[in-house]
Chain A
Amino acid sequence: MEKIPILRMGNLLLVTIQVDLYDRLAETLESDLVQMIKKTGARGVLIDISAVSIIDSFMGRIIGNIATMSKILDAETVVVGMQPAVAITLVELGLPLNGVLTALNVEKGMELLKKKIAEEEPEEEEDHGDTE
């Protein structure tokens, strides 16, 4: 069965979606990722969707789920590289994915993840919610 590979880079997990998603594939990714976070103790997840041309409500929900689930497991999720047409369609569909961190590209996504993780490391009290 087709699977989306999950790469590990230090305390981060990297997922690049190169194919158009269909429901089962997205569901598999969700469970694989959550397992992987648990297994590796990763602190951040970066999902590159720059090659994805269609995101409908189901896949949008999966992305939201991944973000929420990894948060519970103490990992931040950043979605990077969404195409303009996909962003406009998601907004029109009524799915602005509030609560999911986003970045323009992998590089900026990495920066954001590292910043988020560093913020949490030293002291837990400080709450920076400015980019959400």
Chain B
Amino acid sequence: MKNEAIKIFQKKKKAVLENWMKFQLADEGLREDLMSNEDLRSQSEELLDAFIDNLSDENIDDPANSAFEAIVDILSGISISRAKQGFSPRETGIFVFSLKDALLNVLQQEIKDPQELYVQSLKIIKIIDSFGISTFETFIKGREEVILRQTDEISEISTPVIRVWDGILALPIIGTLDSARTQIVMENLLQEIVESGSSIAILDISGVPAVDSLVAQHLIKTVSATRLMGAECIISGIRPEIAQTVVHLGIDLSQVVTKASLASALKTAFGLLQLQVVKKQKQQQITE
């Protein structure tokens, strides 16, 4: 014998869908700006079809049944795309939970025996609740993916290595230097040193808001790694406040070559490479 509720749903599929749409459209927070009503309808219909088709006597008591995987997959797809479109968790939640209301509503109309109605309703509630949990899990995963992608993008664009001269690299650091960032800075810098054969690297920290002992440690690490490779590292862009905090915190930067500005660091670099910048003379001969 087929379960009462399943029979009802199969027979009343249309009514359930209408009900569900009614609940969804009645919600004040409906995002017509993000998704048209037609799209919402086809999305709902697809999910409902999959749900009713997969519902059977064996799995109606078991929300974790593998037969529901197909539905969870569809839900995950919907949930992730909604997260990326900018739906709020509440809006996505309403999408799933209003299905429960619609299903229960139909059951209520069809089943007259209160005992039976209670038993069947409970089963449906359990299944939809488990769908709700999966929806949230994937919704958050969708958001996390967005965050991860942005983090990657930020760290990528925030550590450009510039070849300022033959044999001289510059790396302007903008923003706070944490240990993850230091890793990226070091990797990019050292890789570029190898590729360009540069023997001097200038680390400009004008864009670093504050230097505490941890940041200083990261800077010293970068300088040490550069030296191990056989290149010299100059730190430039040290603002007066930074010089003050460095001394007050008792940070030892004596092993590091520091310069106030990128210009003076470049000058030092030219000196190390035995280069000279000379003003061009009108006449052919150059006077000293």
Contact = CB atoms under 8 A, between A and B. Distances in A.
Contact of A104 (B187, B229, B255): B229
Contacts of A131: 232
A80 B230 contact: yes
Most buried by B among A81, A91, A92, A105: A91
A114 to B, nearest CB: 15
Interface stretch (A9-17, A65-73, A95-103, A118-126): A95-103
A88 B232 CA distance: 15
Contacts, number: 57
B225 A91 contact: yes
Contact of A102 (B183, B190, B228): B228
B194 interface: yes
Interface residues on A, range: 20 to 34
Contact of A91 (B194, B199, B221): B221
A84 B226 CA distance: 8
A96 B228 contact: yes
B199 A90 contact: no
A87 interface: yes
B197 A87 contact: no
Nearest to B227: A102
Interface in A44-87: 79-84, 86-87
Interface residues of B, number: 20
B193 interface: yes
B186 A96 contact: no
A87 B221 contact: no
B231 interface: yes
A54 to B, nearest CB: 14
Contacts of A91: 221, 224-225, 228
A108 interface: yes
B191 interface: yes
Given A84-B190, A87-B190, A104-B197, A96 B230 contact: no
Most buried by A among B186, B226, B227: B227
Nearest to A92: B221
Contacts of B228: 82, 86-87, 90-91, 96-97, 102
Contacts of A84: 186-187, 190-191, 193-194, 225, 229
